[in-house]
Amino acid sequence: MRIDILTLFPDMFEGVFGDSILKRAVNKQLVELHTHDIRAYTTDKHHKADDYPFGGEAGMVMMVEPIARCIEQLQSERTYDGIYLMAPDGAVFNQRKANELSMLNNIILLCGHYKGVDERVRELFVTEDISIGDYVLSGGEIAAMAITDAVVRVIPGVIGDSTSALSDSFQDGLLSAPVYTRPADFRGHRVPDVLLSGNEKLINEWKLEQQLIRTRERRPDLLQDPQ
């Protein structure tokens, strides 16, 4: 899989992409991660990629021309399965979407900034707008990092234990059950006996029960999800 990220601030991604699971995925050649500086595609001598909005609102808007040039350059080199704009008014990202995107070959993540992107970018290029929550960030870079991590970690072979990602929260629409490790007794707080029993059937039943309890208490909205 290849993920191209279009941003005004490519240096923000160096630490995130150069460590942990994402770095291992790249080293295993399971994913390619590329960042592209939108400013490099402007014809302005000062590399300006934003301008004042028509209509007199405060703030700045990312210009359509440099974004179009960047996208069209990438599209001339390969076919993309989707172009996704990081935007607060997009559909809220979830595990289902992460799984869906992980099955694609080539995608573009476009990081909005300032007041957002010229609407013609959406009209001409964007497949879908994606948000990571009902709040506003300074730009789409942090959202793109979160989405990239969520997508890459479920690609087969990225995580050493192939069953680990499948047992994460939200994979089955529920939160994860509590987890424990050594010691079995810490200051009088013991690991539930069932987890020490070795009885796989009882352990699985306990985990499902705990998932339901935790989801009902913390995220009851997940139990009401019609999807």
pLDDT per residue as tens, the chain (227 positions): 999 999 999 999 999 999 999 999 999 999 999 999 999 999 988 899 999 999 988 899 999 999 999 999 999 999 999 999 999 999 999 999 999 999 999 999 999 998 899 999 999 999 999 999 999 899 999 999 999 999 999 999 998 755 555 555 556 788 989 999 999 999 999 999 999 999 999 999 999 999 999 999 999 998 985 54
Which residue carries 């040039």 as its tokens?
69
Three-state secondary structure call for residue 164: coil
Please state, in angstroms and rounded to a whole number, the distance separating the CA atoms of residues 218 and 204.
21
CA triple 152-77-31, angle to 5 deg:
15
Q: Residue 163 has what pLDDT?
A: 53
Q: Residue 6 has what pLDDT?
A: 98
Contact 39/10 with Cβ under 8 angstroms? no
Q: Residue 222 — φ and ψ, nearest 5°?
A: -70, -30
* Pair of tokens at residue 129: 């707008």
Please state, in angstroms and rounded to a whole number, the distance separating the CA atoms of residues 41 and 222.
42
Instruction: Please name each of the domains of the chain with its CATH number.
Output: 2-152 (3.40.1280.10), 169-223 (1.10.1270.20)
Please state, in angstroms and rounded to a whole number, the distance separating the CA atoms of residues 140 and 149.
14
Name the residue among 38, 182, 162 with its Cα closest to residue 110.
38
Name the residue among 54, 79, 91, 51 with its Cα closest to residue 67.
51
Strands 185-186 and 189-190: antiparallel
Instruction: Please tell me what DSSP assigns to residue 132.
Output: S
Q: Residue 160 has what pLDDT?
A: 74
> In this structure, how many other beta carbons lie within 10 angstroms of the beta carbon of residue 115?
15
The beta-strand segments (E) located in the chain are: 2-7, 32-37, 50-51, 61-62, 82-92, 106-111, 128-131, 185-186, 189-190
Q: Residue 171 has what pLDDT?
A: 65
Strand partners, 92: 131
Long-range contacts of 161-166 (CB under 8 A, 24+ apart): none
Q: Residue 168 has what pLDDT?
A: 57
